[in-house]
Amino acid sequence: MDNAEGSQSQGGIRERSNGHYDEEVWGARESLRRNAGLNKISVDEITPLLDSGSDSERENSEDRTETEWAGHADFEGLTWWHKPSMFWLLAPFFLLTLAMGGILVPKLNLILSLVCREYFIESKDNYLLKPIIGTMSMKHSILDSDDQRCRIPEVQALATKFMLSLTIVAGILSAVMAPKLGALSDRYGRLKLLIITSLGAFLGEIITILAGTYPDVVHYRWLLVGAVFDGLCGSFTAGMALTHAYASDCTAPPKRAVAFGYFHACLFSGIAIGPLIAAYLVKKTGSIVTMFYFALCIHTLFIFYIFLIVPESLSKKRQLLAREKYAAEIGDRFNNGPIGWKATLRRANILAPLRILYPTGPGTSPALRANLILLSAVDTIIFGVAMGAMTVVVYYMGYQFGWNTSQISVFTSIVNSCRVTALVIVLPLLNYIVRTRRANNQRRMSGFATPEPNSGSDTLDLSIIRTAVCFEIIGYGGYALVRSEGLFVVAGMIASLGGVGSPTLQSALTKHVPQDKVGQLLGATGLLHALARVVCPLIFNMIYAWTVKPFPQAVFVVLSCCFVVGFVCSWFIRPNIYLEDTTTQRGRTTPKPDPDILVDEEITGL
């Protein structure tokens, strides 16, 4: 073997451009494939013998040339209906968001009606008892406000406190369960855990239907049991994290931001269209409970679809490998870790899953830990502001401009349409121009399929994140400054363009860890989202309540400052930092040395 060749391969070790060394299995089959050039995707095999020089033929040859990614190796040779893809989940996920968006207003009105009914049953004003019981049949439109007796402060306060109880119960339990479900999905597959997340909502809808249909038998406080089921199964927060984990299993790292963007587009489309479907169904049937039957059917369809049709994204080999690594970690912790009640309390800590954001050991670095913490912080800020600002924006539009429900619905539709457009058109177009076209050019020039390894966040990811946060700052700053209705709508459209930031952040996070840690990482972000879902609405609603009289725009100033903090944090994120997987290489498990496997020197006779 000459010196040049020896520098490339010594003892099965290949040097990378960054100075690291990748371990590779050089068996007889792989050696023959390399020496014979079988790994090369030849341009001659996919282009005419006589090249006419037309650009269209070159583009067709590029389209037929698949870009390599190690994650696709597990599914080579499978039929299309056995091969996982993010497109398997797009349609059912959209239906889930329709159900989630559709039951928001009906559930608020149903709880208000049930609380009002119970309030007057328990009150001493017996002369009001019969009229209320007679009219509270749950068969009035969700926009009906004829029962003015239910608009009294006492009933409003009781309904608000009960809704807060439901949110806290589901939020805290989902914060505990989301990271556990995410870590379990790394070891036992995504689909089983995805079914569990939908099962919690399924049980919750059954209890809601019973409470709305038989209020004399099923007290409205039974809805807390439904919230417990929903939280124990991870709630929608865990479902979103597992959906992203499934997409990351079957999508190359450079394309994950686009894949996550499609799911976010489904989310906002469902939130925008769901209330329209709910209004139609309630008006057609005359019953609020109808929408919960609709949601129950969607959850049933989703469970059977996932169980019977969707292929698993994690191969058995990867699942077994993840279980072995987990068992080794548990054994090492049991044998060498601390013992006693302090160690038990430390393991029971609700924030313990966040350790994945501060990895230690071989392959880690301070830059990696800083990136994970900063990315998750910016992601939590964006999610928390989005959750906390929803009700504040609605209240503010009614207070400042006197808008009614239909006008607020039009504003919501315009803003969500802009957000979906950015996610479905702008984000994929940026990815194509910057990443896909460059890969196609490299493929055409070299004749080789361009590898797509996990290389951490690139400059495009960071540019999109920073630009998205800038749009959010401008939009929410506009909310605080403008006083006209038209400019307020324009500010909302600008802020909606920042919607491309959240899927890009989630994608960037998955690029920092090996594939067997993606579920655990997204579960940790699910924990942060669940906590933000509880804390942020409380804080921002309290700020608005305290400042609505002297300066109602104060809450938007606070929200803009939160985005400024996120923008500053984004500039400390470094590109091309990631944790290498020392167990697998090029999508294949590294086996133990086998004396029967021939090495390169024995094959080539050198």
3-state secondary structure of 598: coil
Ranges of residues in the chain whose predicted pLDDT is under 70: 1-71, 124-149, 151, 332-348, 405, 447-454, 581-606
d(CA 221, CA 499): 36
Assign a CATH topology to domain 353-439+454-579: Growth Hormone; Chain: A; (1.20.1250)
Instruction: Indicate the helix (H) or strand (E) that contains 538.
Output: helix 518-547
354: nearest Cα among 385, 380, 332: 380
Quick one: three-class SS letters along 388-418?
HHHHHHHHHHHHHHCCCHHHHHHHHHHHHHH
d(CA 24, CA 28): 13
Tokens of 546: 């305290």
Sorted by where each begins, the domain ranges of the chain are 78-124+143-323, 353-439+454-579
| 518, 251 Cβ separation under 8 angstroms | no
Number of alpha carbons in the 13 Å side-chain half-sphere of residue 417: 8
Question: In the prediction, which pLDDT does 296 show?
Answer: 94
> 78-124+143-323 domain in CATH 1.25.40.20?
no
pLDDT digit string, tens, across residues 351-396: 788 888 988 888 888 999 999 999 999 999 998 888 888 878 878 8
Question: In the prediction, which pLDDT does 126 show?
Answer: 44
Question: In the prediction, which pLDDT does 519 show?
Answer: 85
Residues in the chain: 606
Question: In the prediction, which pLDDT does 341 show?
Answer: 57
Tokens of 155: 């009933």
pTM of the model: 0.72
Question: In the prediction, which pLDDT does 407 show?
Answer: 79
Question: In the prediction, which pLDDT does 110 show?
Answer: 86
d(CA 541, CA 395): 10
